[in-house]
Amino acid sequence: MKKTFSQKMFIASDNAKRILTNRKDRGICTSDIVARERIDAMVEYLFDKSYTPIGDLNIETAYISNEPLTFENRLTGRKRENLRVGDRWAVNTFDCAWFHITGRVPIGYEDKKVVYLLNLGGEGLIYKADGTAVQTITCFASEYAYALGFPLKRVVDDISENGEVDFWIDAAANDLFGNIKNKAIIDEACISVCNVNIRALAYDLQVLISVYDTNQNAFADKIFAICKNLLKSYKTITDDRAEEIRKELAPLLSQKNEGKQFEYYAIGHAHLDLAWKWPIRETKRKGARTFATQLHNIKKYPDYIFGASQAQLYQWVKEDYPQIYEQVLEAAKTPNWDVQGATWVEMDSNLIGGESMIRQFYYGKNFFRKEFNQDMKILWLPDSFGYSACLPQVMKLAGVPYFLTQKMSWNTVNKFPYHTFNWQSPDGSEVFAHMLPEDTYNGPVYGTSLKFGEKNYQERSISSKSMMLYGIGDGGAGPGYEHIERMHRFNDLAYMPKVTPKKALDAFKILDDGKTEYPTHKGELYLERHRGTYTTQSKNKKYNRKCEFALKNYEYLMLLAKERNIELPIKEDELEKIWKEALLYQFHDILPGSSINRVYDESVARYEKILTRLNWAINYLADKIFKKGLLNLNSFAHSGSFNIDGEWYSADIPAMGFTPVSEMKKIEQFSVNATADTIENEKYCVKFEDGCIVSLFDKVLNREFVGRGKKMGVFSVYKDIGDCWDIHPINYQKTKVDAKCTAFKTVDNRASVSAVADFKLGQSTITCTYTLTQGGEVLEADLVIDCHQKNSMMRVAFPTSIVSDECNFNVPFGHISRATTENNSIEKAQFEVSGQKFVDISNEKLGLTLINDCKYGYRCKGSVIDVNLIRSPLGGPGHNVDQGIHTVKFALYAHEGKISADSYKYAYQINNEPICVNGIGDTGSMSAFHCDNENIILESLKISDDKKGAVLRLYNCADTEQECRIAFDGYKIAGTTDILEDSVMPCKDKLTFRGFELKLVKIDRVSE
């Protein structure tokens, strides 16, 4: 009927280190150490004795399925009858089942607290017979850090009617972290009486002994003496005796703090990854289970506050569990439910583009406004893997002044120096940031954790207040009764930090109360961990990049189509759904590559369908609007040589414009050349040896860009002993193996010349095609990699001739600089860093920009740009990842002096090539966008909410102030606005931009 579940594993782990420390500091005797350990055993025993079985629960039937069934369709699964404790009900992880549970509460327990104890070896949502969801159960997690709390939720309040028990459980054969725990075996199913006083006594002792563990004073010694005295008789304690003991302990628990104490503002929390060690479909169920449990907690504890973030999660619950969602809407009108976050998902910010970052706020905030009538003010990213330098600026434009995290506490080398601070973007935008000093969003509400956070808090001299998130995350359904019970006892207990329930925004306003002493951090928040996520699951990252550009291209053509009254192939409602799905896949455990394989099997399939749909729609509109020619969807003019239907043309395609073939000049004289080991155009002479570049000579600058005695484009493989998150520096030191060139040739294609090299690297093959075009400013490289390397990492290195102390990395709306030196621990820790469309190493005389169309992980130390191509690490959660065919495009751009707008121009051109249109439209040569300053870039545009025009996303790619005049054909400038388009501020004809500033400029259609 009933199994006991030891809590000693986490109680003892919370105290073991303290015991050893106390022995040294206090001169504690060996017998007291033994007594202290026995106190843990006593508390464990009392928790086990908190429930007395009085009857069995009958598992009459189970309807098992591979994928979830609704309550209405629950009987369509594979039927099993008369399951019992000890039976296994699932074979595969993520199998599903509807259990029908019956029983009868024995007569004579009407005045007792009756509960059900259930552990099905998985997770489950309990429904009454009428289909009303009421509560959640979870099993032990196989990988959970028990020092953070008790993950098992097995106690279910009685929902019988006249003693008759009849309910259903929608179960999942997985634990918190996606595994089948104990082979999905039913461990427990019984009706019990809760011995409320014994249970309460266990909580009392658990809290009081933590006061002893964390203090050295007479009060702590008194607690220890009382606890030791209880060791004599605790195994004979009845519920009535427990009530008497509680009265004796009450003076201790009611002793308040004297004077000013450190105070936590506490919020129940259930950090929920939208995919990780489970698929997206299971997250939807985890969300419902979490919300149902916390609605139940709110009813039991009137002062309890629970918070949840992510608009996507709320949307799923709204769609799939409307009954639960209606309760959430009502709870959010009370002080008990804290709606959190300002984005569609808790996204990664290292890997997403600028428009994606804007849309995360746009769709997230609009959802919460519509559904909850709340204007969200906090960017809630407790678990993302580092934070982009541009985030504060985007937050300000979204009306989000506050930022919460704890992830920077995960640094492995350099402790991040602040917990409460002002965070600045490179343009000077500033927000108020708070990092949880307990170093976790799964706070256990233990005395040792509370004391650790107080001591750890680095702004103690400025403020004695901090935030605390507590509960079991990742499907653990948030705080259990034990968290809330401890929280109440710590509310104001002598010699301990105060714990006060408070909503997050209220807590931020108190922390940010006008104090000017808080420190300031400018630039990115670089996490010294999880650097492998810049590369793992490369296909997903490439699809994200392609999807971002396709969405931007379609929205520009939407604007042109609306002007011409052309019917849209993708209407605005469908476009919003596509955007939201793309934003979902930017979640911080999906796009970075740290989820199980199933997540990527499903997301890649969806990406392919989305891109097929978008590209079809783009071509459809282009053909309707334009004649035959080339369409440039970037805000830079694009000049060069283009092959159309086998003929070479020279063309100057204007910014955001179109050039018909009829206005292009056919190339008759060709000025490129290829020999056995060299390709050459007007700008470059490139020489090869063993398939690698041994000379990249710029004839215009008269400079060599390959490092002396070095080779560029050297492919190597390293043993990868990490997991999907982490790369270990040993990879750069002892395990490198270079690729062998197996074939090489040059090809002359009239207005372009190519060098084609084939490489063998272990079981993998690489074909690298370098190409120069007539009049071209970049050396392009197209890679086709057939990867069959396991437990390895493939990279390509470009040793340059440039000496510089820093390297520039593209980020949304600009670039940031990082050191190429390793002079201190901070620089050494940045052995792998993220960047987006390009990386540039330059000095006052010359520079080299390496452009890519889908890569994000770099090592740039000394004069070498080293790119991480593919990771297939030994560890999970994904296994044997990134096998098969990969295509990658690179380009090298040699330039004079430091980085300029030209690096941006060629990066956009490589990532967003001109579209060859075979149209039937009547639009000839045109350019929609005009700007008199090349440093001001039009990143993207969006149809304005008022349908009068569009909102342009313009940014300054220079680090100095810039001025410009812009124009958009057929539109007038209405003014600058914000991400939500709440207001429009009139602006002058000449716009002034701070260095790296982003402006949102609204344009309205001019009436004809």
Catalytic residues: 383
Contact 60, 165 (CB under 8 A): no
Contact 579, 709 (CB under 8 A): no
CB atoms within 10 A of CB 76: 12
Q: Rounded CA gap, 755 and 774, in Å?
A: 15
> Residue 190: which H helix or E strand, with range?
strand 188-194
Q: Output Rg (C-alpha) for the chain, integer angstroms.
A: 31
In degrees and rounded to multiples of 5, residue 277 shows phi and psi of -90, 20
Q: Rounded CA gap, 436 and 456, in Å?
A: 10
Q: Rounded CA gap, 398 and 977, in Å?
A: 10
**Terminus-to-terminus CA distance in the chain, angstroms?**
81
- Tokens at residue 334, please? 């009370």
Is the four-CA dihedral 116, 118, 123, 128 of positive or negative sign?
A: negative
DSSP single-letter state for residue 185? B
Q: Rounded CA gap, 790 and 389, in Å?
A: 34
- Angle at CA of residue 201, ends 198 and 203, nearest 5°: 115
Alpha carbon 774 to chain centroid, angstroms: 43
- Angle at CA of residue 815, ends 540 and 975, nearest 5°: 100
> Residue 100: which H helix or E strand, with range?
strand 96-104
Contact 237, 245 (CB under 8 A): yes
Residue 603: burial class (beta carbons within 10 Å; 0-12, 13-18, 19+): buried
Written in H, E and C, the secondary structure of 764-808 is EEEEEEEEEECCCCCEEEEEEEEECCCCEEEEEEEEECCCCCEEE
Q: Rounded CA gap, 609 and 750, in Å?
A: 37
Collapse the DSSP code of 832 into the 3-class scheme (helix H, G, I; strand E, B; otherwise coil) and give the result.
Answer: coil
How many helices, marked H, and strands, marked E, lie in the chain?
Answer: 18, 55
Residue 878: burial class (beta carbons within 10 Å; 0-12, 13-18, 19+): buried
CB atoms within 10 A of CB 922: 10
Q: Enumerate residues 6+ apart whose C-beta is below 8 A from 71.
A: 98, 127, 131, 168, 170
Is the four-CA dihedral 440, 442, 445, 447 of positive or negative sign?
A: negative
Q: Rounded CA gap, 619 and 570, in Å?
A: 12
Asked, as a colleague might, if the bond just before 479 is cis with ω within 30 of 0, I would say no
- Tokens at residue 545, please? 């990049």
Collapse the DSSP code of 305 into the 3-class scheme (helix H, G, I; strand E, B; otherwise coil) and give the result.
Answer: coil
Is the four-CA dihedral 904, 906, 909, 910 of positive or negative sign?
A: negative
- Pick the closest to residue 450 from 491, 417, 413, 421 (CA basis): 491
- Amino acid symbol at 758: D
- Tokens at residue 304, please? 């309890």
Q: Rounded CA gap, 68 and 74, in Å?
A: 9
Q: Rounded CA gap, 793 and 795, in Å?
A: 7
720-755 as b/e, with b when 16 or more CB fall inside 10 Å?
Answer: bbbbbbbbbeebbeeeeeebebeebebeeeebbbbb
